[in-house]
């Protein structure tokens, strides 16, 4: 599976990303570049936090992420994070791109 496709699967496991697509803040076939552009716009703190994590997974060198932010996420988003961490989402624990 191409990295962008796998990354999109991870991103779609977060409810806030589905909402951003639904409200046309992200295109349906969004890429990391689309997420970078949105991250630079005015968005909610929660949206920015999840996008920061997803961008960190895409490129951990240019997009730092504080793990402590996960503690403030909704239960659904914490579950999506946990599924990424244990490999349920992408078939490999903590997969980075």
What pLDDT digit, counting tens, does each position of 23-72 carry? Answer: 999 999 999 999 999 999 999 999 999 999 999 999 999 999 999 999 99
Q: Which domain holds residue 73?
A: 3-85
pLDDT number for residue 36: 97
Q: Find the distance separating the first CA and the last CA of the chain, reported in whole Å.
A: 12
| 54, 35 contact by CB (below 8 A) | yes
Structural domain count of the chain: 1
**Is residue 57 included in any domain, yes or no?**
yes
What integer pLDDT is reported at residue 27 of this predicted model? 97
Is residue 95 domain-resident? no
Contact 26, 38 (CB under 8 A): yes
Assigned domain for 97 exists: no
81: nearest Cα among 64, 95, 63? 95
Q: What pLDDT does residue 1 have? A: 82
Does 92 reside within a domain? no
Residue 93 located in a structural domain: no
53's tokens: 């994590």
């Amino acid at each position: 599976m191409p990295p962008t496709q796998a990354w999109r699967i991870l991103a779609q496991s977060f409810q806030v990303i589905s909402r951003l697509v639904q409200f046309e803040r992200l295109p349906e076939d969004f890429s990391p570049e689309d997420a970078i552009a949105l991250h630079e716009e005015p968005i909610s703190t929660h949206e920015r936090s999840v996008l920061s994590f997803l961008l960190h997974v895409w490129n951990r060198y240019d997009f730092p992420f504080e793990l402590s932010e996960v503690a403030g996420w909704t239960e659904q988003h914490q579950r999506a994070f946990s599924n990424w961490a244990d490999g349920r989402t992408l078939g490999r624990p903590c997969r980075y791109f």
